[in-house]
């Protein structure tokens, strides 16, 4: 059942990308316009979504689930950064692709795809786990992710703390813990902006990949390797660790957190793999190829990995 729900939702998002390809091919939207709208999604829609998701009543059980989710997301990104280092070695000053490939292997499209996938499979309450993932992912992408592209080894804390995802998640969590409710007018505005979280970015993604050479993309075996690590390798490693640690049995809500985590880490390469190289250096076109191929393959891999996780938890003695 969960496989059908996820496959259907991924199919919808792929059609949204196809609309983006169509309007780019017809000259309705330019690549530059798509990049501007991408910044709008990053700096306005994402923070609005994160604040909106946390506008809910405080419950100790949910607080425990949120804490566990944050721990698992942090562990995943640390683990992924370590495991991908030997898989994508830097090959010299002229090599822009290894850093982009490694960034793509680690970076999940957790926000634009993860939220609708979780909502379809697990209900609206699961959106809060996607919000936690987005906040911690932003810490990763603006620290280690930027370091990969700049190759200077420096962490710029100001960029991290002022990144849209971190600001939005921090404000959302603060309002949640203090149980501060926003006025209805503002909350409705955030709700409308949040509703744009999936359709706009997926159409933008379609515009950005519309000019790719399809045959060249499908023949590049390195792209398939990176997509495999992103869609199958890292999700299975994380699932295995959670099962070995007995995480589904830690408390009543833990299985839901584990399934949400599996869906989040199984999403295709994030659109950040196109936008960050454009800003900080790197082969953005290669990043676009990774986004396109991994999104196509995710129609099959996300339902399979999520179903495996659900089956494993049902068979385990947790």
Give the mean pLDDT of the chain.
88
Average pLDDT over residues 265-291: 86
CA atoms in the 13 A half-sphere facing the CB of 192: 5
Look at residue 111 in the predicted model and tell me its pLDDT: 81
CB neighbour class for 216 (10 Å; exposed up to 12, middle 13-18, buried from 19): exposed
3-state secondary structure of 269: strand
How much of the chain exceeds pLDDT 90, in percent?
Answer: 49
167: which 2 tokens? Answer: 């600001």
pLDDT range class, residue 102, cuts 50, 70, 90:
very high
pLDDT range class, residue 126, cuts 50, 70, 90:
confident
Domains of the chain: 2-308 (1.20.1530)
pLDDT range class, residue 144, cuts 50, 70, 90:
confident
CA 250 – CA 247 distance, rounded (Å) = 5
Cα four-point dihedral sign 20, 22, 28, 30: positive
Dump pLDDT digits (tens) for 28-73.
999 888 888 888 988 899 899 999 999 988 888 888 999 999 999 9
Query: Which has the minimum average pLDDT: 86-95, 104-113, 183-192?
Result: 86-95
**Helices (H), ranges, the chain:** 2-25, 31-40, 46-53, 60-87, 97-106, 115-122, 127-140, 146-150, 157-161, 164-178, 184-194, 199-209, 214-219, 221-228, 234-244, 254-265, 272-280, 284-315
Look at residue 216 in the predicted model and tell me its pLDDT: 80
Output the CA–CA distances (angstroms, integers) from residue 181 to 51, 58, 103, 170, in the order listed: 11, 11, 37, 15
Q: Answer whether residue 138 shows pLDDT above 90.
A: no
Q: Answer whether residue 183 shows pLDDT above 90.
A: yes
3-state secondary structure of 108: strand
Query: Which has the minimum average pLDDT: 40-49, 90-99, 238-247, 262-271?
Result: 90-99
3-state secondary structure of 28: coil
Among residues 156, 165, 141, 149, the alpha carbon closest in space to that of 279 is found at 149
3-state secondary structure of 227: helix
Structure-model confidence comparison of residues 151 and 15, the more confident one:
15
Which residue has 């995943």 as its token pair? 76
pLDDT range class, residue 1, cuts 50, 70, 90:
low
Distance of CA 74 to the CA centre of its chain: 14
Q: Answer whether residue 193 shows pLDDT above 90.
A: yes
Look at residue 91 in the predicted model and tell me its pLDDT: 66
C-alpha dihedral (8, 9, 15, 20), degrees to nearest 10: -170
Among residues 247, 238, 243, the alpha carbon closest in space to that of 267 is found at 238
Average pLDDT over residues 253-257: 92
């Amino acid at each position: 059942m969960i496989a059908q729900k996820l496959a259907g939702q991924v199919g919808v998002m792929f059609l949204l990308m196809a609309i983006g390809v169509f309007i780019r091919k017809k000259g309705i939207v330019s690549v530059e316009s798509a990049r501007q709208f991408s910044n709008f999604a990053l700096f306005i829609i994402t923070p609005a979504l994160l604040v909106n998701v946390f506008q809910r009543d405080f419950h100790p059980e949910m607080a425990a689930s949120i804490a566990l989710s944050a721990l698992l997301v942090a562990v995943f990104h640390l683990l992924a950064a370590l495991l991908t280092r030997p898989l994508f070695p830097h090959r010299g000053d002229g090599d822009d692709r290894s850093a982009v490939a490694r960034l793509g292997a680690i970076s999940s499209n957790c926000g634009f795809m993860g939220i609708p996938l979780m909502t379809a499979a697990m209900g609206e309450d699961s959106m809060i786990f996607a919000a936690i993932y987005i906040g911690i992912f932003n810490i990763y992408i603006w620290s280690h992710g930027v370091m990969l592209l700049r190759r200077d080894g420096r962490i710029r804390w100001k960029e991290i703390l002022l990144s849209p995802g971190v600001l939005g998640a921090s404000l959302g969590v603060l309002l949640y813990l203090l149980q501060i409710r926003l006025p209805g007018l503002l909350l409705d505005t955030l709700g409308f902006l949040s509703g744009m979280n999936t359709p706009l970015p997926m159409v933008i993604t379609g515009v950005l990949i519309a000019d790719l050479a399809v045959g060249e993309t499908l023949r590049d075996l390195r792209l398939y390797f990176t997509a495999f690590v992103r869609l199958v390798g890292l999700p299975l490693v994380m699932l295995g660790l959670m099962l070995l640690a007995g995480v589904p049995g830690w408390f009543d809500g833990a299985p839901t957190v584990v399934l949400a985590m599996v869906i989040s880490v199984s999403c295709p390469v994030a659109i950040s793999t196109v936008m960050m190289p454009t800003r900080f250096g790197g082969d953005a076109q290669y990043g676009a190829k990774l986004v396109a191929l991994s999104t196509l393959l995710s129609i099959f891999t996300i339902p399979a990995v999520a179903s495996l996780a659900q089956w494993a938890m049902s068979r385990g003695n947790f």
